[in-house]
Structure 1
Amino acid sequence: MSEKQVILVTGGTGLVGKAIEYVVQNGEKQPNEEWIFVSSKDANLSDLASTEAMFEKYKPTQVIHLAAMVGGLFKNLKYNLDFFRTNIQINDNVLATSYKFGVKKVVSCLSTCIFPDKTTYPINEKMIHNGPPHDSNFGYSYAKRMIDVLNKGYNKQKGVNYTAVIPTNVYGPHDNFELEDGHVLPGLINKVYCAKRDGTDFVIWGTGSPRRQFIYSRDLARLMIWVLRNYTEIEPIILSVSEEDEVSIKEAAEAVLKAADFKGNVVFDTSKSDGQFKKTASNEKLRSYLPDFKFTPFDKAIKETVEWFETNYETARK
């Protein structure tokens, strides 16, 4: 019989953690695996003693590290120092404790915001440290970059296999559907729900022209499980749909409108900023490993997310 694997997922009740749990419960779990999904209720990961107590309790052999202090644009602008210090503490504690307890592999989750603000496109894994990130969320971005530095340090000095993934814009069930300070797709889903319920206009901020690569959380979950089991590089890997699958905000909004069967008036509020026009990422490295991986069609994934939100509206984060 294969050796028992105990896989601890920090941030296990968030968007990606819930997606991994869903995928594990629907056919991805192997017989020798025990999956444990923890949240801030289980441990304060910015406190070393609390982190160590949780590892002592569960004795993981592998860790998927998703936990972070997160927020939208306005929170980042106001609390850049807090985002940096808290996330540095969380990440250092999780990796140090993983090493202390003999964890064989750690897969951490980064973000495309770590890439330089001024860069060429498509961005790839070699470009992370080529310049400063955007000034609006420099605290969070630099803290996430330091995971890559820690991974390399642990490998070179301690000989362990810690790595990281870099997803593009993630969406799906259990997202944060906050309207004012959240991400674009869950915000659109919440807006269309409210507009349909209240008989009001559906308002899209900006012109709708910026383009983004969106990855369905359950596709990301399947890929992260593959990384945990099969990816042996220390260098991070971008997990994203292809460049040709990039969609405009207008196209994303149309998919949401269709999924929600919205028949009302649609308005573009062009007094709102469009933000960055595009931040295209290359998934060439991913495709070199998994040329035949099938992503869920965008319309289907949007439909599933809209239906989940409608069903769980009262308890969804918003």
Structure 2
Amino acid sequence: MADSQSKPCRTILVTGGTGLVGMAIKEIAEIGNQTNEKWVFVSSKDADLTSEAETCALFEKHKPTHVIHLAAMVGGLFSNLKYNLDFWRINIKINDNVLHNAYKHNVRKVVSCLSTCIFPDKTTYPIDESMIHNGPPHDSNFGYAYAKRMIDVQNKAYHSQHGCMFTSVIPTNVFGPHDNFNLENGHVIPGLIHKVYRAKEDDTPFTIWGTGSPLRQFIYSKDLARLFIWVLHEYDEVNPIILSVGEEDEVSIKEVADMVVDAYEFKGNVFLDTSKSDGQFKKTASNAKLKSLFPDFKFTPIKQALKETVTWFVDNYETARK
């Protein structure tokens, strides 16, 4: 007890704290329950992070020593195609306000969340942390992708000019409990989970948008939460780190859809609507840096993680975001 009391107390502010990753971090942090840490999870109800004044007030209220920055305007493929400008402007404002207030309020460390969509569309595979700025991202979500890239630029600029320890992580496609299961604007796995639920309830066919052939690496939100906390405690580089399952764990959208069908024990017809866009075919990421720094980390098998997510969605259908 004396040892824990002698350590400096950390107040960790988590923006976007009620979303998919924020809720997972909250669950894992409560399990760890370090006595020298106070976790504060905030959402858009607590402050409009596009407002510099409200962001400043949030920092003055909670006086964080550390920040995990998750808040963002996010959406699926079809939202990004339609609103690239909005994704750019809103995310640039959020990120600039959070990072600048972290600097102004002497925050010791910030860990921001990026996305693999920031990588160049035309590239070699696997992609790694050194390749972020090597070319333009895919046209489908260039607004969001460039806004997220700029976090890396700002992190390096704050470190160069002020010595700040601002860093970032790049997760692959995240899924799990508390996701956004909206059929129009959600990401692929929560969309599939909701579609199969409806098909089973309504006794209708299950339709997969696109050819089902694109390949993705998916990471379970609870695994990502454990890695976020590890980065907060142990990773002290400004350069980003990819948080992902291995290249060998890449799966097609059709394979994921089949796993969701199995998790529901759905017996109806399954169709592919090839008139819908596939988006980027692949964006295989290397987790070599993560494996070199945290070789003992074990990922939850995707079938188990999908089953847990389906169970959560069914149990929380009335209150889930959809």
Aligned-residue offset at 1:97: 0.5
Which residue identity lines up with residue 75 of structure 2 in the other structure? G
- Structure 2: distance between partners of 1:30 and 1:151: 27
Show the counterpart of 1:256: 260
2:40 is the alignment partner of 1:36: yes
1:21-68 CA distance string (max 9 Å, x none): 11112x223111110000001011111110111111111000000001
Matches within 5 A, 1:59-78: 59-78=63-82
The whole-number CA distance in structure 2 between the counterparts of 1:309 and 1:167 is 22
Deviation at 1:315, TM superposition (A): 1.2
1:130-145 equivalence runs, <5 A:
130-145=134-149
Q: Cα deviations across residues 229-278 of structure 1 (Å, max 9, x unaligned)?
A: 00001000000000001111121111111111112222222333333221
- Residue 225 of structure 2 is matched in structure 1 by 221
Distance 2:100 2:260 in 1: 42
Secondary structure of the corresponding residue to residue 8 of structure 2: coil
Rounded Cα–Cα distance in structure 2 between residues aligned with 1:268 and 1:293: 36
- In the TM superposition, residue 293 of structure 1 has moved relative to its aligned partner by 0.5
Residue identity opposite 1:256 in structure 2: V
Shift of 1:304: 0.5
Counterpart selection for 1:11 from 5, 12, 16: 16
C-alpha distance in 2 between matches for 1:130 and 1:142: 12
TM-score calculated relative to the size of structure 1: 0.97
Match of 1:305 in 2: 309
Choose from 140, 158, 164 the match for 1:160: 164
Amino acid corresponding to residue 19 of structure 1 in structure 2: A
Compute the displacement of 1:75 (Å): 2.5
Is there any run of 5+ residues in structure 1 with no aligned partner, and where?
none
SS in 2 for 1:176: coil
Scaled by the length of structure 2, what TM-score is found? 0.96
How far residue 76 of structure 1 moved from its aligned partner, in angstroms, is 2.1
**1:284 to 2:306 alignment:** no
CA distance in structure 2 between the aligned counterparts of 1:221 and 1:107, rounded to whole angstroms: 12
2:202 is matched with 198
The residue that corresponds to 1:182 in the other structure is 186
| Pair 1:54-2:33 in alignment | no
Task: State the AA in 2 paired with 1:13.
Answer: T
Distance in 1 between residues matched to 2:279 and 2:95, nearest whole Å: 29
Runs of 4+ in 1 over 6 A off after TM superposition: none
Name the CA distance, whole Å, in 1 between partners of 2:260 and 2:137. 30
Q: What is the 5 A alignment of 1:79-98?
A: 79-98=83-102
Q: CA deviation at 1:9?
A: 0.1
Alignment partner of 1:293: what SS?
coil
Give me the identity figure in percent.
Answer: 72
Structure 2: distance between partners of 1:51 and 1:216: 30
- Distance, in Å, in 2 between the alignment partners of 1:188 and 1:296 is 20
- Structure 1 residue identity aligned to 2:101: T
Aligned position for 2:27: 22
> 274, 281, 288: which is aligned to 2:278?
274
Number of equivalences: 317
Measured on the aligned residues, the alpha-carbon RMSD in Å equals 1.1
